[in-house]
Structure 1
Amino acid sequence: MGPTLRRPRRRRWASLLAVTVVAVTAGGALACPAGAAGTDVDFATHCIPPAIAGLPPIDGTTTANIAVDNTSPTVGDTVTVTYTVVTPAANNPTDLALPADIMTPTGKVTLGGAQTGDVTVAGPKKNDPVPGKGVFPSFSMTGTFKVTSPGAITLSPGDYNIHTSYILELDTPCTVTDPPAPVSETVTATDSTPVNNRAITLGSPSGNPGDSVTVNGTGFTAGATVTLAGRSGSAQTGDTATVTAGTGGSFSGSLVVNDKATTGIVAYEGSSWSAEKGAGPAAYVVNDTTPVPDGSQKLTTTVKAGTLSMSQAGDAVSLSAVDFGKGGASAGSLNTVTVKDFRGGPAGWSLTGKVTDFTGPGGRIDAGKLSWTPACATKAGSPSTCKAGSAGTVGTSGATLASTSDSAFTGGEFTVDAGLSLDVPAFTPPGSYSGVLTLTLS
């Protein structure tokens, strides 16, 4: 709701799956934002009713809360933000009662500290009925931002707008009177592993045995000795050369390729290939110049490598309700996740998950109360075999849902499922409790 010849760098894929449990409800469940909630803060707000209402601006107080799905991100991570207006400063400006589900809120969250800017957030068209001149109900809006700097990043509620679609399309914009509003939440970002910006291009995608191919590189360490080498699948061939990177980290060198089995060319710093200090492989084909016998025709085809990807059958799961005073297992099933490994290399993959605390009107249900029983199936013909993770607690630290092993040749298509169970304490206050399960493929 992130692998001899070292393992090639794996591409990371992340997905958010909202998980909701309806606990101890006698009537309808309240929708509450998922994630690690910050502190409720009050701030002066200036709201302008629609002109048709004929009312002057409203100066009041807004109570709001900022929640995030990850309070300890790494630079490069995407953080999901939920801005909840607990008590709006404005009321329904008309005598006309407003029916349910006609309000669409939008707004901004202000970032400060190590990273500045605004996060645009928006909410669904969903609300309880509002009587004439009645108080607008609480509403939530979500958005995301990418962490670009390490350190403490503060989040404060910003301006918001209430749009109503009933008979007329009307807006009630509300601005923070004295920005920024008080800080509601803080996330502390840490440095990520340095990004490898090394890259190579070839002067030609193919050549005859013994031909020289030009290799151009960028992003390498200035002054470093760079090895150029042929690759046959995942193994390095005997065709190598060296070049020195210039002051800007760029180079242009030549490599003579003799091995007819060559499928690509790499460039790397150090004594052996490293995905952290290398680039490639760039596809290269050695032409087979063996003469074709009289009366024969030579047929050639190419198989292109693909990517590692993940998709899921849905982004929300409703777990079964439990009774107040009894509690117990609130059960459900993870939406099926499909993993497609079409890279054709030696690296396997791992699908992991971690969950936030479940928040609701009565507080929290600890993330450690969620457990799963993984299952994994491999599509017939796949080179790799999928292995399900161990049954047990998911929690905030995470657990493995499924994986495949490194091998000389990997790939395939896989489906991953899991039974979910949230252990709800017996006297959890009635209401709807939600958490966010983040799945990461690497």
Structure 2
Amino acid sequence: MASATRESAAREPAARRRGPRRWTAALGAALLVAGTAALTGPANAAPAAAGAVDFATRCVPPPVAGIPPINGTTTAEITVDKTAPKVGDTVTVTYKVSKPAASNPVDLALPADIMTPTGEVALGGAQSGKLTVTGPKKNPPVPGKGEFPPFSMTGSFKVTAPGSITLSPGDYNIHTSYIMELDTPCTVSSPPAPVSATIVATDDPGANERAISLGSASGKPGDRVTVTGSKFTPLTEITLAGRAGQAQTADRLTFTSDAEGGFTGRLKVNDRATTGIVAYEGASWSAEKGAGPAAYTVVDDTPLPKDSQKLTASVTAGSLTMSQAGDAVRLSSVDFGTGGGAKGDLQTVTVKDFRGGPAGWSLTGKVTDFTGPSGSVIDAGRLHWVPACATRQGSPSVCEAGSKGSVGSAGATLASAPDGTLTGGEFTVDAWVSLKVPAYTAPGEYSGVLTLTLT
């Protein structure tokens, strides 16, 4: 299955004065939208037991500053959206630097919103590697030779192994876009830095990992296709069957899986209506104990009339992809003391299903808590949406909008298209979004991460 990943940032100005003795809290939402064609498990929004850590850092000012490297101390904290994920889950990580080691190296004051941070988080324990994190282009004004302000960066990784996984802050870079494009890279002097957060991953015994593959994608009526299966229940009755959309065709074969849950079967395909093949345990198909459909084409071998010629052309199957119209979503502001909905429109997502098989698709989303000044948080469950979906004329499938309501960290469906005899097409997906802000939420800018997943 193909995938496409996109990210969009949304931001509102900080609180501004609108009249005598009246302040407006501009609660902008940074909806960092990332789409990927991979199945993710439900989110657990509870933050990990995390703590701020100090570590020695060496920062190299831009050459134009004409000053030597800075050896200082960085104070940072790692938080996650899941403390107890399952293998296969996607974990969103926030790397917050509350005290950078670097400062403005020149006498020139820097204006607001010209700094873009990027960095790395080091993974250890059951899963090792480095995770890239990025932050929005957002900062208050910085006076000449003044300290750089705090900043946050986010990223995500897929859990691949059970056990304790540690997360430590790593190198980071502060990029400024004012008059010139300049970088201030800061590296951990004695890597790795102290562990700031730990999560404990577990296996997901309930997950359906059953899979099948076909020895060939087509054949004449009566031909046998070799079907290989894995991760089924050992020594269990398995049925191979033809499918035409949601319906099962007359093609069928039953046998027993081996001691490791694998099998190789040769299904005879006679029914010309068959467009896919499934394998399942038990008396009838279920998504929980089955795999497929895998696309299969029955080639018409009807005898030709005398003195005729048969012309054949092929259509090559494509992939399932998604893209976004833009990368910025700005939500309206709300008043401190009154609260209400910070409203806006999600950037339009275009889904293209050019696979040409029997499988439909689903586009889901989940969001993290919205973090603001001094650790203030707006719960992820307060983000609501009203989805909308349109199908391009001529598409074999029809797009269905998801249900309106809370998105939350557990996620919700934005749009989908059902299985069918032949599926595919182009679709545009939109949503009206509203962040329900409590009345006395601290003034300032709030940001969260919305992840879109196409399967």
- TM > 0.5: yes
Look up the equivalent residue of 1:376 and give its one-letter code.
Answer: C
Counterpart in the other structure of 1:436: 449
CA distance in 1, matches of 2:410, 2:119: 31
Displacement after TM superposition at 1:57 (Å):
5.3
Pair 1:313 & 2:304 matched: no
Q: Which amino acid aligns with 2:15?
A: V
Q: Distance in 2 between matches of 1:69 and 1:366?
A: 12
Q: Does 1:41 align with 2:46?
A: no
> Alpha-carbon deviation of 1:203?
5.9
Q: Rate the CA distance shift 1:155–1:301 in 2: closer, same or farther, 3 A.
A: same
Map of 1:15-414 to 2, 5 A cutoff? 18-20=9-11, 22=13, 24-26=15-17, 41-49=52-60, 53=66, 55=68, 58=71, 60-71=72-83, 73-92=85-104, 94-97=105-108, 99-100=110-111, 105-123=117-135, 130-162=142-174, 171-177=184-190, 179-183=192-196, 185-192=197-204, 193-194=206-207, 196=209, 198-202=211-215, 205-207=218-220, 209-211=221-223, 213=224, 215=226, 217=228, 219=230, 227=239, 229-231=241-243, 235-241=247-253, 254-264=266-276, 271-272=283-284, 276-278=289-291, 281-290=294-303, 292-302=304-314, 307-342=319-354, 348-361=360-373, 363-404=376-417, 411-414=424-427
Q: Quick one: structure 1 residues 430 and 346, their matched pair in 2 at CA, closer, same or farther if it must change by over 3 Å?
A: same
Question: Which runs of no fewer than 5 residues in structure 1 stay unpaired?
Answer: 1-9
Q: CA deviation at 1:360?
A: 1.0
- Measure how far apart 1:302 and its partner are: 5.0
Partner SS state of residue 431, structure 1: coil
Contact 2:240 2:252 in 1 (8 A): yes
Distance (Å, rounded) in 1 between the aligned partners of 2:311 and 2:261: 41
Query: What TM-score comes out, normalization by structure 2 length?
Result: 0.73
Provide the C-alpha distance between the structure 2 equivalents of 1:421 and 1:31, rounded to a whole number of angstroms. 11
1:54 to 1:428, Cα distance in 2 relative to 1, 3 A: closer
Residues 274/300 of structure 1: CA separation in 2 closer, same or farther (3 Å cut)? farther
CA distance in 2, matches of 1:323, 1:281: 54
* More strand as a share of residues: 1
Distance 1:381 1:169 in 2: 50
CA-to-aligned-CA distance 1:88-141 (integer Å, 9 cap, x gap): 12334x454364577554432122454333323344666555445432232333
- Percent identity of equivalent pairs: 56
Aligned-partner residue type, residue 311 of structure 1:
S
**Which letter maps to 2:55?**
A
Cα offset, 1:319, TM superposition: 0.9
User: What is the identity, as a one-letter code, of the residue corresponding to 2:347?
Assistant: N
Aligned residues between the structures: 427
The one-letter code sitting in structure 2 at the alignment partner of 1:371 is H
Residue 427 of structure 1 aligns with which residue? 440
Corresponding residue of 1:7: none
- Amino acid corresponding to residue 158 of structure 1 in structure 2: G
Asked whether the equivalents of residues 389 and 403 of structure 1 are also in contact (C-alpha less than 8 Å), the reply is yes
Deviates more, 1:312-321 or 1:72-81: 72-81
Indicate how the Cα distance of structure 1 residues 350 and 50 shifts in structure 2: closer, same or farther if over 3 A, else same. closer
Distance 2:380 2:217 in 1: 54
Q: Distance in 2 between matches of 1:312 and 1:164?
A: 26
The amino acid of 2:169's aligned partner reads P
Q: Is the 8 A contact 2:27 2:342 kept in 1?
A: no
Instruction: Give the direction of change, closer, same or farther, for the CA distance of 1:17–1:289 in structure 2 (3 Å limit).
Output: same
Does the residue aligned with 1:148 lie in a helix, a strand or coil? coil
- Aligned partners of 1:178 and 1:297: how far apart in 2? 72
Q: Structure 2: state its 5+ residue gaps.
A: 19-24, 33-44
Tell whether the 8 Å contact from 2:9 to 2:329 is kept in structure 1 after alignment: yes
- Would the alpha carbon gap of residues 345 and 72 (structure 1) be closer, same or farther in structure 2, given more than 3 Å must change? farther
- 3-state SS in 1 of match to 2:449: strand
| Alpha-carbon offset, residue 20 of structure 1 | 4.2
CA deviation digits over 1:202-246, x for unaligned, max 9? 268434x445x4626263667666555555565544445567766
Closer/same/farther in 2, CA of residues 232 and 135 from structure 1, 3 Å limit: closer
Equivalents in 2 of 1:384, 1:216: separation in Å? 27
Note closer, same or farther for the CA distance 1:407–1:23 as it changes in structure 2 (3 Å cut). farther
Checking the alignment, whether the CA contact within 8 Å between 1:15 and 1:438 is kept in structure 2 is no
Query: Residues of 2 paired with 1:240 and 1:323: CA distance?
Result: 64
Q: Is the CA contact (8 Å cut-off) linking 2:227 and 2:267 kept in structure 1?
A: no
Given that 1:17 and 1:439 are in contact with CA atoms closer than 8 Å, whether structure 2 keeps it comes out as no
Task: Summarize the Cα distance change of 1:170–1:216 in structure 2 as closer, same or farther, 3 Å threshold.
Answer: closer
Which is higher, the Rg of structure 1 or of structure 2?
A: 1
Q: CA RMSD in A?
A: 4.4
Tell me the SS of whatever aligns to 1:368. helix
Q: Provide the rounded CA distance (Å) in 2 between the counterparts of 1:325 and 1:120.
A: 38
Structure 1 residue 404: deviation in Å? 4.6
